Amino acid sequence: MRFIALSIAALASVATTVLAAEGEQVKIEVTRAVECERKTQKGDKISVHYRGTLQDGGKQFDASYDRNTPLDFVVGKGSVIKGWDDNLLDMCIGEKRTLTIPPEFGYGNRNMGPIPAGSTLIFETELMGIQGVEAPVSIIEKPASSVADKATEGVKAAVKSKIAEAAEAVKVVIADTDDDGQEHNEL
């Protein structure tokens, strides 16, 4: 029975480890979805309005809206934090996303001005333009959905698969042991 208890504990540990890895992702909520023919791609120079707040307490630390000037940068080239670089791709001009960025995709364990070390950041973003791409005459909104939900479907399926595999392994171990707790060492 002790071996079975250890196996169940190992199963719980595997599940927790896999789920923790899933939690370390940037959460993307599309707050205004837009239809377009040309979306942002790695290497595009884009213009983004944003408002940045700390998840802990909700204090705003920066906002391009306050300056009335969006931030221009080349997306996917490492000129901004990884949480932006990877998650402002595949956007239409006029689209809005709220990014919840854990420390490992933000500033990590460094203090950065008003941002304490280890902070999870919330950015409300709005794509204002893509250099060389005409802005649409009118924005055609579509129902908003969570890109994170779509992106994590594969991760969730992998988690379920690993848990199912571990559960099956525990069943085999249980089936191979007697109720009296003795192990079979015939092999």
pLDDT of residue 164: 65
Helices (H), 72-125: 82-85
The answer to whether position 153 is within a domain reads yes
pLDDT per position as a tens digit, 7-32? 444 444 434 333 344 558 999 999 99
Residue indicated by tokens 């008003």: 114
With contact defined as beta carbons under 8 Å apart, do 54 and 119 qualify? yes
Cα torsion for 58, 27, 114, 42, to the nearest 10°?
A: -140
The DSSP 8-state label assigned to residue 119 in this structure reads: -
With contact defined as beta carbons under 8 Å apart, do 98 and 29 qualify? yes
Helix pair 147-175, 2-23: axis angle to 10 deg: 170
Q: Which of the four pLDDT bands, split at 50, 70 and 90, describes residue 142?
A: confident
Q: Give Cβ neighbours of residue 157 (< 8 Å, ≥ 6 apart).
A: none
pLDDT exceeds cutoff 70 at 157: no
Q: Which domain holds residue 112?
A: 2-10+25-175
What's the predicted TM-score (pTM) here? 0.65
The answer to whether position 79 is within a domain reads yes
* Closest to 106 measured CA to CA, from 82, 130, 77, 89: 82
pLDDT per position as a tens digit, 60-106? 999 999 999 999 999 999 999 999 999 999 999 999 999 999 999 99
The answer to whether position 182 is within a domain reads no
The answer to whether position 122 is within a domain reads yes
The answer to whether position 184 is within a domain reads no
The answer to whether position 183 is within a domain reads no
* Closest to 28 measured CA to CA, from 73, 78, 88: 88
pLDDT of residue 139: 77
Residue 47 pairs in a beta bridge with 72, 129
Phi, psi of 82 (to 5 degrees): -60, -35
The answer to whether position 181 is within a domain reads no
pLDDT exceeds cutoff 80 at 182: no
As a whole number of angstroms, the distance between CA 183 and CA 176 comes to: 8
The answer to whether position 94 is within a domain reads yes
Number of domains in the chain: 1
CATH number where 37 lies: 3.10.50.40
Active site positions, annotated: 50, 61-62, 81, 107, 123
